[in-house]
Amino acid sequence: MAIQRVASKWEKTKALHKKEHISLYIPETRKYSIDQMQEMLDTYELVYIKPDRGTYGIGVMCADIWRDDIDEDAEPKFRLQFGTQSEIHPNIESLHQSIEEKIGTKPYLIQKGISLLTYKRRKFDIRALVQKTPNNTWETTAFIGRIAAPHRIVTNHHSGGSVLPIEDLLGPYLTPSQFLELYKEMKNLGVHVASELSRKYPRLKEIGLDLAIDEQYHIWILEVNTKPALFPFKWLQDKSIYKKVRRYAVAYGRLKSAK
């Protein structure tokens, strides 16, 4: 039977919200509308706006409150960022109009924005790969750090991002024991998310978690991919990781042979 794929971020988020030990890790997410955006911007300094069924970082935008450094008495305005561009809007209606022009009638989500840690002033997040083992259990098999291209708000490879081992990215922020703690937490989280999602989607065999780490070193699940790319793990120096990734992928039928 075919491996299960689920495109809608909204459906996956809803499924994960049922479990409190997982929902703690999910930034508040709603269906996009001008009213929801107003409420979200009243609550959070930064929000992300993204297609419900998007991939590769395409169509992802973010909005925040923008204050004029020179005229401190001026009313706060709204900044919208997308690609490498940014616009300043005087009010929420103007911000919404610009967003609507870009999204048309496509369903979009609005999510609490996480202030990502940076590497050489570029934002980074983490991809965790979770796979079914040949023994039919779930295992978080690999991690890779993803760094946004300069001035970009997304880290996706297809949007100009590059990759580095998570040790290199988190090393400057964490002591070795803090790193180990976070590493274990991400590994466990991967398994919990996979187990929970596979209750609703029993033919899942692999998932990719996009994990953000904020300035308090809290882990956030930005999205769960049901067709995660495997090739980035090839670049890890420890070749045994990619070997295992392939071996598992062959066992559940994603790849043909373990070359």
Ligand X SMILES: Nc1ncnc2c1ncn2[C@@H]1O[C@H](COP(=O)(O)OP(=O)(O)O)[C@@H](O)[C@H]1O
Q: Which of 117, 222, 230, 245 binds ligand X (CB under 6 A)?
A: 222
Question: Which of these ranges, 14-22, 54-62, 90-98, 183-191, lies near ligand X under the rule CB under 6 A?
Answer: 54-62
Sheet containing strand 29-31, edge to edge, reads 29-31, 108-112, 46-51, 61-66, 77-82, 85-89
Residue 73: alpha-carbon gap to chain centroid: 36
Determine, following the binding rule CB under 6 A, whether residue 232 of this chain makes contact with ligand X.
Answer: no
C-alpha 220/C-alpha 214 separation (Å) is 8
Determine, following the binding rule CB under 5 A, whether residue 125 of this chain makes contact with Mg ion.
Answer: no
Q: Which two tokens stand for residue 156?
A: 């996706």
Min separation Cβ 68 and ligand X, Å: 24
Question: Which of these ranges, 9-17, 72-80, 81-89, 209-217, lies near Mg ion under the rule CB under 5 A?
Answer: 209-217
Helices marked H in the chain: 9-17, 20-23, 34-43, 92-103, 166-170, 176-200, 239-251
Buried b (16+ CB within 10 A) or exposed e, 174-204: beeeebeebbeebbebbebbbebbbeeeeeb
Question: Which of these ranges, 1-9, 61-69, 221-229, 248-256, lies near Mg ion under the rule CB under 5 A?
Answer: 221-229
Q: Which of 116, 211, 221, 224 binds ligand X (CB under 6 A)?
A: 116
Question: Which of these ranges, 13-21, 89-97, 148-156, 199-207, lies near ligand X under the rule CB under 6 A?
Answer: 148-156
Q: Which of 41, 114, 169, 194 binds ligand X (CB under 6 A)?
A: 114
- Stretch 196-215 residues interacting with ligand X (CB under 6 A): 210, 212
Q: At 230, is the secondary structure helix, strand, or coil?
A: coil
Q: Which of 50, 132, 192, 246 binds ligand X (CB under 6 A)?
A: 50
Judge whether 126 and 219 are in contact, CB under 8 Å: no
Determine, following the binding rule CB under 6 A, whether residue 56 of this chain makes contact with ligand X.
Answer: yes
Determine, following the binding rule CB under 6 A, whether residue 223 of this chain makes contact with ligand X.
Answer: yes
C-alpha 225/C-alpha 71 separation (Å) is 44
Determine, following the binding rule CB under 5 A, whether residue 206 of this chain makes contact with Mg ion.
Answer: no
Helices marked H in 18-158: 20-23, 34-43, 92-103
Question: Which of these ranges, 46-54, 68-76, 230-238, 240-248, lies near ligand X under the rule CB under 6 A?
Answer: 46-54
Whichever of 216 and 257 has its CB closer to ligand X, that residue is 216
Determine, following the binding rule CB under 6 A, whether residue 111 of this chain makes contact with ligand X.
Answer: yes
Determine, following the binding rule CB under 5 A, whether residue 210 of this chain makes contact with Mg ion.
Answer: yes
C-alpha 34/C-alpha 105 separation (Å) is 14
Q: Which residue has the tokens 């466990």?
A: 188
Q: Which two tokens stand for residue 119?
A: 């590497």
Which residue ranges make up the site for ligand X (CB under 6 A)? 27, 48, 50, 54-57, 60, 111-114, 116, 125, 154-156, 210, 212, 222-223
Q: Which residues bind Mg ion (CB under 5 A)?
A: 210, 223
